[in-house]
Amino acid sequence: MLGYGADPTVVLVRKNEAIDPKLVNIPKPVNIDLYEDGQRRRYYSYGSDTMQGIRVVFCSKVYYGVEIARKGALLYFWQADKIRTWAASQKTIEVKVGHHHWSSRKKEYKLETYFEPKEASASLRDFMITNRYAIILEMESGDYRQQRKCWMNPYGLKSIGFQKALDPYTAYQELSMWVGGVLAGESPKTVKITSDKVLLEGHGFDNVFLFRGPRLK
């Protein structure tokens, strides 16, 4: 079907409705922090530079990115090498990998660990199927006093550069399979016909013509 164009029976309604982030259990990545001249900028709600995490649940996989506000401009990154290159070009900017708990301090993390896509957990997958979601967008707040925000089936993923994480052709394929297959539910059960008359008529026979010719009176 994908080779011959869109399937008109597969429809994704993009409502862009907000949902309670407490209902969404997205796997949390390792922390990454933005520093400038040795000062941590990750949660600063004042000043010109902030950074906040982005999580996109696309069908059954979770993608991780970051939004950086730098001197009035918004920058979006979905790969470790891209943010490294940008940080190096800024001279005074450094990106560091953190951890969530004291027990993880001895573990070594790489920047690639943050950006590595993960399979959605069973509970998250069930949540999306139950509510008929294909996409969930979750964004942290640059201010630690504010709660993160979530939207279901959002439009505007291009504005946050999500096509750098998942190319449009692959995204279309995954959406088609998810919406047309997983969210479509079970097909109607096949009805078993037991009537001899209906079975005969279905095979082209009736009470006038037998297998070898017309019925003789």
- pLDDT tens, 130-185? 988 999 999 986 555 556 789 999 888 999 999 999 999 999 999 989 988 888 76
H-helix segments, the chain: 80-89, 111-115, 122-131, 168-177, 196-202
For residues 128 and 192, the model is more confident at 128
pLDDT at 57: 95
Domain for residue 90, yes or no? yes
Is 126's pLDDT higher than 50?
yes
Please report whether residue 189 resides in a domain.
no
Whole-prediction pTM: 0.74
Q: Is the pLDDT of residue 211 over 80?
A: no
In a domain, 213, yes or no: no
Q: Are 29 and 40 in contact (CB under 8 A)?
A: no
Q: Are the C-beta atoms of 11 and 179 separated by less than 8 Å?
A: yes
Residue 192 located in a structural domain:
no
Beta strands 32-36 and 135-139, pairing class: unpaired
Average pLDDT over residues 182-193: 58
Asked if residue 217 is part of any domain, the answer here is no
Comparing 120 with 212, the larger pLDDT belongs to 120
pLDDT-derived band at 63, boundaries 50, 70, 90: very high
CA distance 173 to 171: 5
Share of the chain above pLDDT 70, in %: 67
Q: Is residue 151 part of a domain?
A: yes
In a domain, 191, yes or no: no
pLDDT of residue 65: 95
- The chain-wide mean pLDDT, for the chain, equals 78
Asked if the structure places residue 198 within a domain, the reply is no
Structural domain boundaries, residue 89? 2-182
Chain-centre distance for alpha carbon 57: 3
pLDDT of amino acid 90: 86
Mean pLDDT of 84-111: 76
Instruction: Report pLDDT for 40.
Output: 72
Average of per-residue pLDDT across 35-53: 68
Asked if 23 and 127 count as a contact pair (C-beta separation under 8 A), the reply is yes
Dihedral of the alpha carbons of 76, 78, 81, 85, in degrees to the nearest 10: 0
> What total number of domains does the chain contain?
1
